[in-house]
Structure 1
Amino acid sequence: MTSGGRIADATLGRKTLFAVIALAAVCTGIAIGLTAKRAIWEGWVTDRLFQIRAMLTSGQETAPAPVVVVGLDQIALNSERLAPIPRVLMTPVMAEAGQAVLDAGALALGYDFVFAYSADAFTDLETGEARLKGFDQPFQRFLYRNRGRVFIAHTEIGVPHRSFSAAAGAGGVRSVTVSAENDGVVRRHSPNLPLSESSSLIDALISAAGVEVPEAYTAIPSAKLAASTPYLSMLDILTMQETEAGREDLKRFVDGRIVLFGGLLPYEDEHLYSDRFLPQTPADLSQTGASGRPRVQSYTAGVFILADLIGAALSDRMAVAPSAGTLPALALVFSVAGAATGLLLPLVTLPFMALGGVLAGLGVSLAGLEIDVLLSPGVAPVACVSAMIVAGIGKVGILQRRQRSLVRLFGHYLAPDVIKQMAQSEQLPELGGDTRNVVVAFIDIVGFTKMSEKLADRDVVRVVNSCFDAIGQVITSHQGYIDKYIGDAIMAVWNAPNIVENPEKAAVDAARDIIGKLDHIREITGQPPLDLRIALNSGPVLVGDIGGEHRRSFTVMGTTVNTASRIEAVAKDKKVRLAVSQSVAEKLPGSYPVAEIWSGQLRGLSSDISVFTLDIPEMYMEKSGDGSVGKDGKNRSKLLNFPR
């Protein structure tokens, strides 16, 4: 009886422990899953879901687009008709084109231009004579005559000239500002009710079409806007007006539609939009005028974004947030599934089950788009995986795995100094961190994409792992810390979390050793064409834990990191294996042959910088015929000696 009682107590205790772990795993999964809502990576996943949806619905017939874009593009500006006219003096042309569009049956018209200057106010510098007096009257009369149907733009920093504002009326000037999400991509629009009184041009044109949108929505694009939105060049409008057949064509193009006029010169008013991963509509299937359309850029012109946000509301091509309680319920279901998987299945199967949970969660979000509901795509996968991890770790505890095994396991993902600090204090570090000067390195495998196309997936993983292992050993031996792996690249840091005496020299020495091992890396990977590219930058960063109370990551972040990643593009362009910023180069000993290879302004930065390399043959990937690198592999730019 006693023995049986002890066995029963042990069994009951084990079941209770399993129940406690299951409950903890479910609660943790729900909490962490819900914190994934609006995570910075969630937008990227959403855009990928749009891409998958576009692939699945390819070939299906779609309703005609309700919005047409008329572009003041390079073709129009270079034409005989418009080339002699400065852009600030095009209001008569705008009036002529706008009236033509309205006469052809357009419902309403919006100008994505800030008419900040009036030709009437221009005076001769010598005589003071207002030589262009009355020049803008055609456009002013046009605005006055079509109040309620024609709207002009203002932005946060630009407003129309008072003469145009007066002609357009109190409701004729609307904002064209669009709001990007935390990853810098525009996806959503939040209407201000009532739409007819909203300050937004989007709301005004939606209202002009007789549609009401009561809540915020995310537009669901199905193709690249620049290739799929119905489009006419300004030159097309003017040309169509010259013949009866042309006027009929214009009527077929704009009748019953909203029309937006906007500038389409490269780098003017461009944004990242959620169409960035979508396919391009073939030229023969897109509605375009005789002049064609500008080429598709990586960034989307603001007028196309306005058109899509309007068109999404008019064609019911939008997704709204789910009702209250939907996301917690979804997190609960996936957390229960993750906890059960973590407790009941062997540990070796958990990575595969986690992948299955992620795919299932994304599948639910994809299905939500079909009913016009945007389920936060990170909630279900993160809830499932988080609960699975907690349950798995709890099961390891039940099986009495020794604590140092876990420490050894997490040592592959966290810095040893961070693990030691956590073990000593027996608690997590505080979120945030401190500012410290570090050296950041981006080490990229050159030719990885071509290599991966020719290899099986297992061989790709083997090559990457072998390469990363060899590089990682050199980084560690030079007191560096591997912050993360980014696809086929490594981000490494010197002077965080550990202290390094001379991080610039240590990082450059590590880079030289890594490049010196290139032949060895080629040998162990079996890839003779494989090459490496290393970019270094130093400066202040925020060092510490980021995330939330339930999920966090030790990392470094700041402009220094972003600049290092941009410098890699310079290394690629100049065909060097090592490129360093001036802040690194000037801290090197005088014996290091530093040579400047580039100077200018990197994309996304506001000031010029100089980029350097070590002027030794192994730093150059190939010889150039432009004079920058001689036959002996030496850079012909001036060697620099910084004050040491």
Structure 2
Amino acid sequence: MNDAMRAPGNIYLRWQSGIGKIGLVGWGYVLVVFLAGLFLMVPVTSQWEDQFRDHAYGLLERLAPVPVTDDIVVVGIDDTDLQDFQVPLAIMHRQLGATLEAIASARPRAIGLDILLPVRSFDNLQPGLDAALARGLIAARTAAPLVVGASTDGQGVTKPMHPLFATLTHSSQVGLGYLFLLRDTDGMIRRFDERLGSAGGRAPSLSGQMARAVGLEVQPGLIHYAVGSAYSYIPMRQVLDWHRENKIQNLRTAFGNKMVMIGSTLSFDDQQHTPVALGAGLGAQVGSHGVFVHAQQLRNLMTGTLVQPLPWVLQFLFVTVLACSWWLPPSWKTGLLCVLLAVCVQLAALYALRWGISSTVIAMQLALFGGMGCRLIHAGWQSNRERQHLRHIFGGFVSPAVLQEILAGRLDPQTAGSRQDICVLFADIRGFTTMSEAMPPEQVTLLLNRYFDRMVAAIHHHDGTLDKFIGDGIMAVFGAPFRSANPCNDAFACACHMIEAVDAFNAEQKLLGATPIAIGIGLHYGPAVVGYVGSRERYEYSVIGDTVNVASRIEGLTRELEHPVLLSESAYRQLSDKQRLIVIGHMAIRGRSAINIFAWERKWNV
């Protein structure tokens, strides 16, 4: 009996001992599940899920769009229509009325206007405008259910329309559909939900009313942007041409038994942010016109493809199962397995989205990789170490050419300077000191910044390295650190480019009523020491040597001569094309004996 009583006690002790051994690991698993479950509820996860879904729509649209019968037709008012009709959109009554009559003759299934009807009469401008639009509305409501667009003012009150049109639309065959589009905090349109009124009141939408008009049930959901292909709209002028030429068969083929939406496809009007561009043949525009968004909502309602979220219980169950990666032994095989599982999760989420189910990919990925926290910590440490190294390398760096050499591993602050043959360019604004004394400091700064923008762009365009700004002057180097087949060719081409840029700058100055400027440029070719110069705390990539001084002195000679670009003989001899150059002759420069000077044949034009 004692043995029998002792046996259950031994089992209990062994069980308690096992709990003690796996307690920390078990609590770690609980923590991973808790954090992943927490991510299911925080707003930032919802934003990440939205972004994942946006990219998924783009991928599905390209690789595996959901096929549908294209029973929705968009009639667009585009830029060419505006030019042909020669009337603004607000008084396009005759054209809109005739378009409605033409569509009505084809017996469509329903018609929707993504256009607000006017609040006043324009007959005082062109007699007969109201009657023309009224005839179109009557024809449309007689032929098929008609939904006209509506909106509200700042107080949420529905905006009125002209009494004539209000009377015509007050019919069992006509519905009002609000043109609201539900935007997320980032401005993207992802959701369809008519519960926009106070206390969750319903505001019937254009697409929702069109769906109800043909007997469909309307429920909220996420807009499925991978259902169907992009919309190719029919321009309004095309509809009017068919109507005028009595091409009834064309109208019936285009609109017969179809859901027809009419709206703006103008390049400057009603552009909405959407995950994919819904309009076909509209170039590389980002987003979609509002009429295409309404059409996509209607397409989802007609095909029952609005995306619905996975039930919360199933979401948490998936998170709990994927968090079991915590129990796998840490090794490279575990890492590989987690990566493969992550890929499978994303593919499964993509497949589910195609069939209208939105899953919480981000939270599931967090649960999957929760057991690999140490690797994440190590990656963070390694990333921080790399950033510190890059700060050390790039401290004081300016020029893109220097950046290219550093990233290629050919420059390091610890490397001593080297002697190279280079071409140095100096440029300076003539009479800038006198000019700036008569200008406010803010205006001086603005002028210099505009000027430097153009000069630096020219230097970088010709593979030069900006060495420094010296007041209103610029020093640039060609041939270091970026090697050049002929640095003098590059430098001279840059100098010509800079003079032409100043011409454009002066044209702007003239428009602004400001004083034009003139610059002088000096070029000299010769040996110099190039490398990092400075202290351990602050250094810069620069050029040192007599070549720099001579280039500066040559630039100073432009004050005495009538040519804006001067070259030394050493630079002149290196040029491949000397046709545009003339000989100035020997000139004395400070600190050196006279040297032979050459000039670009162009003279000062200021």
**Which TM-score applies when normalising by structure 1?**
0.56
* Distance of aligned partners of 1:314 and 1:183 in 2 relative to their CA distance in 1, 3 Å threshold: same
**Alignment partners' CA distance in 1, 2:453 and 2:212:** 52
Paired position in structure 2 for 1:143: 137
Matched length? 426
Contact kept in structure 2, 1:108 and 1:149, CA below 8 Å: yes
Contact kept in structure 1, 2:147 and 2:177, CA below 8 Å: yes
Q: How does 1:80-229 map to 2 (within 5 A)?
A: 82-83=85-86, 85-116=87-118, 118-120=120-122, 130=124, 132-143=126-137, 146-147=140-141, 149-156=145-152, 159=159, 161-163=161-163, 164-169=165-170, 172-192=175-195, 198-222=203-227, 228-229=230-231
Contact kept in structure 1, 2:191 and 2:222, CA below 8 Å: yes
**Alignment partners' CA distance in 2, 1:51 and 1:329:** 28
The match for 1:19 among 18, 22, 26 is: 26
* Distance of aligned partners of 1:598 and 1:168 in 2 relative to their CA distance in 1, 3 Å threshold: farther
* Distance of aligned partners of 1:336 and 1:524 in 2 relative to their CA distance in 1, 3 Å threshold: farther
The match for 2:299 among 288, 311, 315 is: 311
Structure 1 residues 625-634 or 131-140, which shifts more? 625-634
* C-alpha deviation, 1:626, in angstroms: 12
Q: Which amino acid aligns with 2:204?
A: S
Partner secondary structure for residue 199 of structure 1: coil
Partner secondary structure for residue 275 of structure 1: coil
The match for 1:233 among 226, 232, 235 is: 235
Q: Which amino acid aligns with 1:250?
A: L
* Distance of aligned partners of 1:623 and 1:377 in 2 relative to their CA distance in 1, 3 Å threshold: farther
**Alignment partners' CA distance in 2, 1:236 and 1:511:** 59
Unaligned stretches of 5+ residues in structure 1: 1-6, 123-129, 282-292, 397-405, 417-464, 478-509, 526-585, 600-612
**Cα-to-partner distance string for 1:156-177 (whole Å, 9 max, x where unaligned):** 5594633333432286432112
**Cα-to-partner distance string for 1:444-499 (whole Å, 9 max, x where unaligned):** xxxxxxxxxxxxxxxxxxxxx8xx77643356x5xxxxxxxxxxxxxxxxxxxxxx
* C-alpha deviation, 1:15, in angstroms: 2.6
The match for 1:242 among 238, 241, 244 is: 244
Contact kept in structure 1, 2:179 and 2:205, CA below 8 Å: yes
* Distance of aligned partners of 1:627 and 1:319 in 2 relative to their CA distance in 1, 3 Å threshold: farther
Q: Which amino acid aligns with 1:88?
A: A
Structure 1 residues 230-239 or 174-183, which shifts more? 174-183
* C-alpha deviation, 1:109, in angstroms: 1.3
Contact kept in structure 1, 2:224 and 2:356, CA below 8 Å: no
Structure 1 residues 630-639 or 45-54, which shifts more? 630-639
* C-alpha deviation, 1:119, in angstroms: 4.0
Partner secondary structure for residue 113 of structure 1: strand
Q: How does 1:42-441 map to 2 (within 5 A)?
A: 42-57=49-64, 62-79=67-84, 82-83=85-86, 85-116=87-118, 118-120=120-122, 130=124, 132-143=126-137, 146-147=140-141, 149-156=145-152, 159=159, 161-163=161-163, 164-169=165-170, 172-192=175-195, 198-222=203-227, 228-244=230-246, 246-276=247-277, 294-337=282-325, 339-341=326-328, 344-346=329-331, 348=332, 352-385=336-369, 387-390=370-373, 392=374, 410-412=380-382
Q: How does 1:422-571 map to 2 (within 5 A)?
A: 471-474=390-393, 510-512=396-398, 516-524=402-410
* C-alpha deviation, 1:55, in angstroms: 4.3
**Alignment partners' CA distance in 2, 1:248 and 1:93:** 20
**Cα-to-partner distance string for 1:267-307 (whole Å, 9 max, x where unaligned):** 3111121224x9x97xxxxxxxxxxx644522211111111
**Cα-to-partner distance string for 1:16-73 (whole Å, 9 max, x where unaligned):** 3222222222322332355377532322211222233334436x8x332121100111
> How well do the aligned residues superpose, as a CA RMSD in angstroms?
4.5
Partner secondary structure for residue 88 of structure 1: helix
Q: Which amino acid aligns with 1:90?
A: M
* Distance of aligned partners of 1:103 and 1:356 in 2 relative to their CA distance in 1, 3 Å threshold: same
Q: Which amino acid aligns with 1:473?
A: H
**Alignment partners' CA distance in 1, 2:45 and 2:361:** 9
Unaligned stretches of 5+ residues in structure 2: 1-13, 412-440, 455-467, 483-489, 515-606
Contact kept in structure 1, 2:148 and 2:175, CA below 8 Å: yes
**Cα-to-partner distance string for 1:195-227 (whole Å, 9 max, x where unaligned):** xx843112111111221123323223257x6xx
Identity of aligned residues (%): 14
* Distance of aligned partners of 1:623 and 1:174 in 2 relative to their CA distance in 1, 3 Å threshold: farther
Paired position in structure 2 for 1:29: 36
Partner secondary structure for residue 116 of structure 2: coil
Contact kept in structure 2, 1:40 and 1:182, CA below 8 Å: no
Contact kept in structure 1, 2:40 and 2:360, CA below 8 Å: no
Higher relative contact order (CA 8 A, sep 6+): 1
**Alignment partners' CA distance in 2, 1:107 and 1:259:** 8
